[in-house]
Amino acid sequence: MIKRNDLPAHLAEFSIFASLSDEALTELANRTDIVRAERGELVVQHLDKSDDFYLMLSGKMMAILISGRGREVSLGEMERGHYFGEIAAIGGGDRSASIFARTPAELARIPGRTLRTLLDEEPTVARVLLDDMVQRVRQLTQRSFELTALKLADRLTLFLVRTGLERGVLTVGGELRPAPTHAEIAARVGANREAVSRELSSLVQVGIIQTRRGCITFVDPDRLLQDAKDMGDL
């Protein structure tokens, strides 16, 4: 559990605030709340009017959208060091996605007005935030292309490789543990759970991965990685 007295030091760990002086960090911390979320708890509701800015201090969160027919689309996972809510904090308007806790989590919550004032007063903070947002636009552009141009088997390959690289386990015998559920994978790759299950079974049959409850093991990661490189950016 993070103590309030330690909050300035935790804020300094985020790249967006790395340039701030100790005095500025202390002042920012005084305007910041520490929020705790339980697993499955909704932190931000899609289309809500709130404008708070959140920084991940611990745990994991997921950003999702749900269609009128109940289909869930995952926009990505977040963990310590990530932040969200900057779009509403800067531009106002409705929340662009729902955010819920995948695990118990602690977050720093900064009022939108406080963030906007900080961006006006600290150009370096604004620059880092702008660079991060540009990177996110590029990632979303790539994902939009993949959803349109690639078949499910290819999208699943990219997902497995990226997840393995992010966790540092894309090696022979490396394990995704805990593995995302088939439903969670489906939400990430734009498919349904049944189709994802079939494609995972195909990868098992050709000796690329092994699966068991809560775990995906890489058997032939080199082949998986080469297939991913043939398709586009990782």
Distance (Å, whole) CA 194 – CA 178 = 20
Residue 234 has pLDDT above 80, yes or no: no
Q: Where are the beta strands (DSSP E) in 6-122?
A: 33-37, 42-44, 53-58, 60-66, 72-79, 83-84, 98-101, 105-110
pLDDT digits (tens, 9 = 90+) for 172-229: 999 999 999 999 999 899 999 999 999 999 999 999 999 999 999 999 999 999 999 8
Mean pLDDT of 30-59: 96
169's tokens: 């386990």
Task: Give the global pTM.
Answer: 0.82
pLDDT higher at 98 or 66: 98
Mean pLDDT of 60-75: 87
pLDDT of residue 140: 87
Identify how many contiguous H helices and E strands the chain contains and give both numbers.
9, 11
Q: Are 74 and 187 in contact, with CB atoms under 8 Å apart?
A: yes
What is the overall mean pLDDT for the chain?
94
Distance (Å, whole) CA 215 – CA 75 = 22
Q: What are phi and psi of 92, to 5 degrees?
A: 70, -165
Residue 88: how many other CB atoms lie within 10 Å: 20
- Of all residues in the chain, the percent with pLDDT exceeding 90 is 84
Residue 232 has pLDDT above 80, yes or no: no
pLDDT of residue 233: 67
- What's the pLDDT band for 67 if we cut at 50, 70, 90? confident
Q: Domains plus CATH for the chain?
A: 4-142 (2.60.120.10), 150-231 (1.10.10.10)
Q: Choose among 130, 135, 134, 119: nearest CA to 20.
A: 119
